[in-house]
Chain A
């Protein structure tokens, strides 16, 4: 038992080193465009994993992730833009004087993006989490839109519909993937703790969970707020990746993409969400081809169809939901036990053949 624990500990270290090596390699050998896609995948991994905590593990049908991202993105953008850029960009109405001269370092600003989103999550969760299922979905969707409307109309803070530009750029693979790995580790530890099991208990059977003394509302609010925190964090990172934000970025369609990742990866599987985040993000880029004009064997010419990618992904989501409900991983996780077992069996078989 102890030996197994040590083996797993060593495997974990080796795995993390391998990931670090991969990032190092990528940072030096991939072009800017490719690095950008991988960074986007890291952001989607954070989004997928955090929505999975809420949806897959706590069983709350929440569709508010884009709203929380919006809060995180704007928080860090306003805090980190230089006073000079702010003076230029807020030309419709000048920025609120309190914010005009603030310029925070990136790390605390990004963290505050997450924290602000968590505060929004807490406040929204209070009324919304008294609802369940489709009602909760509609309520959170509504709140997410309300956030967008507020952002569009508080012009002296957010610059309204024009959005913000010249947000300090972060390009390094390290930052995004470190954030993603930390998120995964923290959420995994939450899920493996007594609280994680309480969340699952609520998902499995709310009435029984309550009868075991669990305060349903408090735990739902906790899970929802943690989810909002990481969504805000992802939104903040996205602001620094794209270097501009505007309210239309955080439409429902965005939440839909995260939902696709969670469902595709498997509701209730963290590793599934990470794998699906990579597949979907890279897939979205590869599928850009279908939006270009195409020439089929010189016979038919297909004009470029913008939005075609989303159609393909929607169909994919539909197919997964209809025919492959558990997604890639179901509720399973990639773990060493599984791999070690496979190896053991393989070894046994080889020995059997040798004998």
Chain B
């Protein structure tokens, strides 16, 4: 139980002369909600991109459930059970809410294209079952009334939620959320917090999230890593982070000034 589901071993990412992430080592245990915070440009999204295979770390190794996944392709890593959302929402613009979620099921389809074109039962049954599964999922997260709406017509908060649902539809064990509360007002943020905690419990998943809203981070994260211009500044539980001199100096103070 205490074996980490995700572990990075001194991973670094360099873009030309810029070191976006430097020797980051994090561990996430199964069932945890872990926060990754730091000022803009600290390298947080880059960490997600390395974990999900969008970038290959220039140094270091990444382990998922004890197996090395460094340098695997994104689709491969998704199929292993790691799903993510994006800082700037990336929905499939031409599709409805349901179609967006069903994309996540495509790779699990147990039939060939020829069967689909000919309309053979293995395909149609499979696809129908997937559709029902997705509708069920959308019901569970209170999006059933917008199932056939174009995804981009949803209000911002619901688009964020849809992105999370779409990630959930890949049947992940580890969910990476990149600033899920960005652009939300305090009420929406609280709702989102409850939502994240709920899906963690209901879907038995582990969550690693990047977030700027401190009340969200401090409210639901059990442990927090603080990045600062590529370097790991601190780690600990919310209380330890809030009382950490270095963090207050480099980051929390600034946020309070902003607020």
Q: In the complex, are the beta carbons of A213 and B170 less than 8 A apart?
A: yes
Contact between B95 and A200 (Cβ–Cβ < 8 Å)? yes
Q: Could you write out 27 A-B pairs with CB less than 8 Å apart?
A: A186-B117, A189-B117, A189-B119, A193-B117, A193-B123, A194-B102, A195-B113, A198-B106, A201-B92, A201-B95, A201-B106, A205-B92, A208-B90, A208-B91, A209-B92, A210-B54, A210-B74, A211-B84, A211-B86, A212-B103, A213-B75, A213-B78, A213-B79, A213-B107, A213-B170, A215-B107, A222-B113
Q: Shortest beta-carbon distance, A100 to chain B, in Å?
A: 36
Asked if A189 contacts B104 (CB within 8 A), the reply is no
Residue of A195, A201, A213 with most partner-chain B CB within 10 A: A213
Q: Mask for A258-286, Cβ within 8 A of B = 1, else 0? A: 00000000001000000000000000000
The 8 closest A-B pairs by CB, nearest first: A193-B116, A213-B78, A208-B90, A204-B92, A213-B107, A210-B74, A189-B117, A212-B104
Q: Give the distance in Å from the alpha carbon of A244 to the alpha carbon of B116 in the complex.
A: 37
Chain A residues with CB under 8 A of B106: 194-195, 197-198, 201, 212-214
- Residues facing A in B194-234 (CB within 8 A) are none
Say whether A216 contacts B75, CB under 8 Å: yes
Q: Are A211 and B117 closer than 8 Å at their CB atoms?
A: no
* Interface check A331, CB cutoff 8 A: yes
Interface core residue of A194, A198, A203, A209 (most chain B CB under 10 Å): A194
Query: Is B52 interfacial (CB-CB < 8 Å)?
Result: yes
By a CB distance below 8 angstroms, the chain B residues around A209 are 92, 103
Whole-angstrom distance between the Cβ of B160 and the nearest chain A Cβ = 14
Contact in complex: B94, A331 (CB < 8 Å): yes
User: C-beta contact mask, A209-253 vs B, less than 8 Å → 1, else 0?
Assistant: 111111110000010000000000000000000000000000000
* Chain B residues whose C-beta falls within 8 Å of the C-beta of A194 in the assembled complex: 102, 105-106, 109, 116, 127, 130
Contact A213 B104 (CB under 8 A): yes
Given pairs A195-B113, A200-B92, 7 additional interface contacts (CB within 8 A) = A189-B117, A203-B94, A205-B93, A208-B86, A212-B106, A214-B103, A215-B107
Once A204-B93, A205-B91 are accepted as A-B contacts, the answer to whether A214 and B113 lie under 8 Å apart by CB is: no
Query: Which chain B residues border A331 with CB–CB below 8 Å?
Result: 94
CB–CB A207/B86 < 8 A: yes
B58-98 vs A, CB cutoff 8 Å, 1 = contact: the mask equals: 00000000000000011100110001101000111111000
Number of A-B contacts (CB under 8 A): 94
A190 at interface by CB-CB < 8 Å: yes
B99 within 8 A of A: yes
Quick one: closest A residue to B116, CB to CB?
A193
Instruction: Check A198–B103 contact: CB distance below 8 A.
Output: yes
1/0 per residue, CB under 8 A from B, across A164-202: the answer is 000000000000000000000010011001110110110
Whether the pair B74, A211 counts as a contact (CB closer than 8 A) is: yes
CB distance from B42 to the nearest CB of A (A): 21
B161 within 8 A of A: no
Interchain CB contact (< 8 A) of A212 among B54, B117, B166 = B166
Tell me, rounded to whole Å, the shortest Cβ–Cβ distance linking B89 to chain A. Answer: 9
Q: Which residues of A contact B99 (CB under 8 A)?
A: 197
Chain B proximity of A227: nearest CB distance (Å):
14
Distance, CA A216 to CA B73, complexed state (A) = 10
Chain A nearest CB, measured from B163 CB (Å): 9
Per the bound structure, the CA–CA distance linking A222 and B113 in Å amounts to 10
Residues of B within 8 A of A222 (CB): 113
